[in-house]
Structure 1
Amino acid sequence: MKPVRHHVTRILKFTRFSFSDLIASAAPTFLLIAALCVAAYLIVDPAPPRRVTLGTGQENSAYDRIGRKYAQELGKHGIAVALKGSHGSRENLRLLNEGKVDIAFVQSGTTDQAEAERRGLVSLGSLFTEPLWLFLREHKGKPPITQLTQLKGMRINIGARGSGAPRLFRQVLEVNGLDVKEIQASQLDNTPATVELIEGRVDGIVFAAAPDDPLIQMLLATPGMALFDFAQAEAYTRRLPFLTHVTLPRGIVDLGRDLPARDYHLIAPTATLVAREDLHPALVDLFVQAAARIHSGAGWFQQQGQFPSPRFSEIPVAPEAAKFYKDGPPFLQRYMNFWLANFFDRMWVVVVALGALILPLSRVVPPLYVWRIRSRIYRWYGQLRAVEQALEAAPPERREEVSKAQLERLNDIEQRVNQISIPLSFADDLYGLRSHINFVRQRVIGQVSSSTD
């Protein structure tokens, strides 16, 4: 039984298929594909940052208060919004151009389309109207001011430096044929300017702000303060296309006190949300969705659902924002957490990478598999060649001794070859190797016989 068992252990081990060799052959390819997919996921379409800087306005202004609402909305999704105060629209535009903020409130008419495209700025839409408010002190015995040309020589605070009001008011004066130098212009911040007006040190102040600004609310209810009525509002909108004609309805401030006592015509630019074009698309989606929640309600000058809107902005609208206004929120974000939806939305990058890599790289695996199996057989041919070289190099007097040593070496080679485990489809290569071993053995035996003779 022992010789039979010994013979069985030396029988060649065959398998139908070698999974271990396939895994070993395919592993480098799969690792390379995985690495490239991860690189595509992180580099081609990186995850949105968790912190963004928003340029707002003066302390307690409408921009400042609305900025806090945006911070609260984005905070629900794990995005920290740092609020950077400013004097207003013009300064916010400068901060955007200098890269000191990622997104900011900017008044329409502050910049033109060509400049915005050159600076790499995009609009996320219009948010609300910001009427141009001109409050004047009433003087007993003097007729009310009905034309801006009557402001010549008067002390008017035209808005804080860095805000959008000074530039806007200059444009309004120019279409009336009036130069700002013809009035005594000052540029105090809104709060000190309001104090100056109430105490009579200036004759009028200019605001470009939403009606819920606390200073606007206070001045509308303060006796002795007259709001200028832009009776030619429609004409202004034709001359300055970024303006719209809005009406302050009678009694809107206080119905019981009938404030104001009549309708007032006003001209209004719109507040727009402007971002640098490199702001991550996912953050654009979040800001536009937040804008829809914050600004979609009815107000003094707007109907339900009128804002936010892609209209009323000379700055090109970002593609993601335009898509939102057309189709609503991204499909996945309607049903999933923001980060989970963003993950699946970005997975298309990995899918494209896989499609581009799997087909060509998969063609490498079969040849590697074949080479790995056959290399177990072919490496023994080097041993056979070494046996032949040893015979050829042996001197005549040592040929018999060398031949016997090589016979033992061949027996060892054959024993090891018989232990090789390979798939059945490669059996012909293995049997070919065994026949070649036998061929070399016969040659060595012939050398031994010739040496004996």
Structure 2
Amino acid sequence: MTPIRQWHATRRLRLRLLLQTLRDILISIGPLLLLGGGLLVAAYWWLDPQPPRQVRLATGPAGSAYAAFGEGYAKALARERIRVELIASEGAQDDLARLRAGTADVGFVRGGMADPAADTEAGIVSLGSLFYEPIWIFYRRNLGIARRQPDGELQQLAQLRGLRVNVDQDGSGVPQIVERLLALNHLRPSDLRLSELAPEAAANALRKGKLDALVLISAPQAGLIAELLRDPTIALMPFEQNQAYSRHLPFLSTVMLPRGVVDLAADLPPRDVPLLATTTALLAREQTHPALRQLFAQAAQGQHSEAGWFNGAREFPNTRTSELPVSPEGDRAINGTPPAWARYLPFWAGNLLERMWLVVGGLLVLMLPLSRVVPPLYHFRVRSRVFRWYARLREVEAKLETGTGEHEALLDELGELDRVTHRIAVPLSYAEELYALRNNIDAVRRRLLKQRPRSESGPRGAEPP
């Protein structure tokens, strides 16, 4: 055999040995992999780590701050291929009703709307407080002059007695809060001429003199708020007693509308205006997939962390003013440190790892003891390639001892057995068993050859001459 052919033959032998070894390893470890894979699939099915691709977010009326924020959340989740269905509503009270009924998964709800005991029991949780929503009371500027108020301004709710006041739609939750404010001033709703027009319609009625005042609870990002603040015929009533109100109604916070924050050049407003504000939270149902709650909580960081008219940078989102229990996803997004893999992995992979790592760790702990069976299985499989030929060798030997087989046929069978064993490939650590088999075949052949002359030269058992 030429050196080149010998080199190719050696190379083929090594490749065959490598492939056979890999096959033995895979077959030996196969039962363990099947068991682990089955348990992993069962855990995946039970934990359901990947979120659905659609979620319902209850926002608010068209043009409201809620609607604007909803668009921002929809864009943020769209980057993770989650479609956000924006559900227009009448406001925070309507959002809460939809959460309770299960027709929305997430919604904006301002402070004072939720029933902490009942809503907690119903499985509604907070993803964090997002922003302040001041209570804005706008009135026709000439009204204070007509009523001969100091500086021509209204400063107390009691001064609205008998006036035409709009308190927003019932689903907004504003009428309920106004009723509590009036009660603190010993006023009943019947002491005012109340209406419940939508904000835009109420603003138009106020400008046309069909209303004397209107009450809104909204974030300053709503375009209508800026329009009313800039209207020279309309004034904003300050809450000079805001500290007292916040003591009676703990869900209210005291805020200050800074001088010039609306328009520095026009010095609007011309002085600091004390106000009351509710804190709006992002609420979700416990049935909403945890990964979706996590996405919303993370999106809230980008939507509401900047400085605004009533807060500094990174004051929101927070968990300090939540009336309902904060979900673990919201608390982790706001107060915790994101895991290291979140900076390098896409959301779906990070979410899968976060929700499955305990299962994977448990499987590893379970598989470590079971993995001890792999070496014996591999050992048995490799040795069986050699030892299974001993059965044929013993058959030949038995025929030899009993004299039931013909010598030529037995020699042919031994030759075939020898050729087969020379094609067997085993790792070097098992070569001893292979060479032992070949030696045993050769020993039987020598015995057979020694008996051949006796059978040919004379009676059985006679010595050859």
Q: TM-score range by the shorter chain?
A: 0.7 to 0.9
Which residues of 2 match residues 265-414 of structure 1 at below 5 A? Answer: 265-346=274-355, 348-349=357-358, 351-366=360-375, 368-369=377-378
Which residues of 2 match residues 235-254 of structure 1 at below 5 A? Answer: 235-254=244-263
Answer yes or no: is the 8 Å Cα contact 1:130–1:210 preserved in 2: yes
Over 3 Å counting, the alpha-carbon distance change for 1:355 and 1:182 in structure 2 is same
Unaligned runs of 5+ in 2: 1-16, 396-402, 445-465
Please name the residue that 2:147 is paired with. 142
Please name the residue that 1:96 is paired with. 99
Tell me which amino acid in the other structure corresponds to 1:359.
L
User: CA shift at 1:142, angstroms?
Assistant: 1.4
Higher mean displacement: 88-97 or 44-53 = 44-53
Over 3 Å counting, the alpha-carbon distance change for 1:190 and 1:371 in structure 2 is same
Please name the residue that 2:209 is paired with. 200
Over 3 Å counting, the alpha-carbon distance change for 1:177 and 1:381 in structure 2 is farther
Tell me which amino acid in the other structure corresponds to 2:217.
A
Listed one character per residue, the Cα deviations across residues 214-257 of structure 1 (whole Å, up to 9, x for unaligned) are 22222222233232221110011111111111112233333444
Answer yes or no: is the 8 Å Cα contact 1:248–1:265 preserved in 2: yes
Over 3 Å counting, the alpha-carbon distance change for 1:415 and 1:329 in structure 2 is closer
User: CA shift at 1:38, angstroms?
Assistant: 4.4
Q: Secondary structure at the match of 1:96?
A: helix
Answer yes or no: is the 8 Å Cα contact 1:126–1:310 preserved in 2: yes
Please state if 1:110 is matched with 2:119.
no
Please name the residue that 1:125 is paired with. 128
Q: Separation in 2 of the partners of 1:126 and 1:24?
A: 54
Across the aligned residues of Structure 1 and Structure 2, the Cα RMSD in angstroms comes to 4.4
Unaligned runs of 5+ in 1: 1-15, 387-399, 438-453
Which residues of 2 match residues 151-162 of structure 1 at below 5 A? Answer: 151-162=160-171
Q: Secondary structure at the match of 1:226?
A: strand
User: CA shift at 1:272, angstroms?
Assistant: 1.2
Please name the residue that 1:441 is paired with. none
Listed one character per residue, the Cα deviations across residues 285-336 of structure 1 (whole Å, up to 9, x for unaligned) are 4333332222222221112222121122111112232223334443323344
Overall identity of the aligned pairs, in %: 41
Listed one character per residue, the Cα deviations across residues 393-442 of structure 1 (whole Å, up to 9, x for unaligned) are xxxxxxx9xx889xx99x97998799576856878x989x99xx9xxxxx
- Relative to the length of structure 2, the TM-score reads 0.74
Q: Secondary structure at the match of 1:130?
A: strand
Higher mean displacement: 223-232 or 264-273 = 223-232
Q: Separation in 1 of the partners of 2:361 and 2:190?
A: 62
Answer yes or no: is the 8 Å Cα contact 1:92–1:104 preserved in 2: yes
Q: Separation in 2 of the partners of 1:297 and 1:365?
A: 58
Answer yes or no: is the 8 Å Cα contact 1:134–1:205 preserved in 2: yes
Tell me which amino acid in the other structure corresponds to 2:205.
E
Q: Secondary structure at the match of 2:171?
A: coil
Please state if 1:210 is matched with 2:213.
no
Listed one character per residue, the Cα deviations across residues 156-198 of structure 1 (whole Å, up to 9, x for unaligned) are 2212121121222122122223232433322221111222222
Answer yes or no: is the 8 Å Cα contact 1:29–1:365 preserved in 2: no
Answer yes or no: is the 8 Å Cα contact 1:123–1:315 preserved in 2: yes
Q: Secondary structure at the match of 2:170?
A: coil
Tell me which amino acid in the other structure corresponds to 2:158.
T
Q: Separation in 1 of the partners of 2:231 and 2:269?
A: 11
Over 3 Å counting, the alpha-carbon distance change for 1:240 and 1:426 in structure 2 is farther
Over 3 Å counting, the alpha-carbon distance change for 1:349 and 1:33 in structure 2 is farther
User: CA shift at 1:64, angstroms?
Assistant: 0.7
Q: Secondary structure at the match of 2:274?
A: strand
Tell me which amino acid in the other structure corresponds to 1:143.
R
Tell me which amino acid in the other structure corresponds to 2:75.
Q
Answer yes or no: is the 8 Å Cα contact 1:33–1:358 preserved in 2: no
User: CA shift at 1:34, angstroms?
Assistant: 5.0
User: CA shift at 1:129, angstroms?
Assistant: 0.6
User: CA shift at 1:111, angstroms?
Assistant: 0.8
Over 3 Å counting, the alpha-carbon distance change for 1:425 and 1:181 in structure 2 is farther
Tell me which amino acid in the other structure corresponds to 2:324.
I
Over 3 Å counting, the alpha-carbon distance change for 1:319 and 1:195 in structure 2 is same
- Relative to the length of structure 1, the TM-score reads 0.76
Listed one character per residue, the Cα deviations across residues 336-392 of structure 1 (whole Å, up to 9, x for unaligned) are 4434444554562463243144224324435555665788899999999x9xxxxxx
Answer yes or no: is the 8 Å Cα contact 1:56–1:86 preserved in 2: yes
Please name the residue that 1:449 is paired with. none
Q: How many residues end up aligned between the 2 structures?
A: 425
Q: Separation in 1 of the partners of 2:156 and 2:235?
A: 14
Over 3 Å counting, the alpha-carbon distance change for 1:239 and 1:414 in structure 2 is farther
Tell me which amino acid in the other structure corresponds to 1:85.
A
Answer yes or no: is the 8 Å Cα contact 2:134–2:278 preserved in 1: yes
Q: Secondary structure at the match of 1:269?
A: strand
Q: Separation in 2 of the partners of 1:163 and 1:413?
A: 96
Answer yes or no: is the 8 Å Cα contact 2:29–2:374 preserved in 1: no
Please name the residue that 2:451 is paired with. none
Please name the residue that 2:82 is paired with. 79
Answer yes or no: is the 8 Å Cα contact 1:33–1:357 preserved in 2: no
Q: Separation in 2 of the partners of 1:370 and 1:330?
A: 42
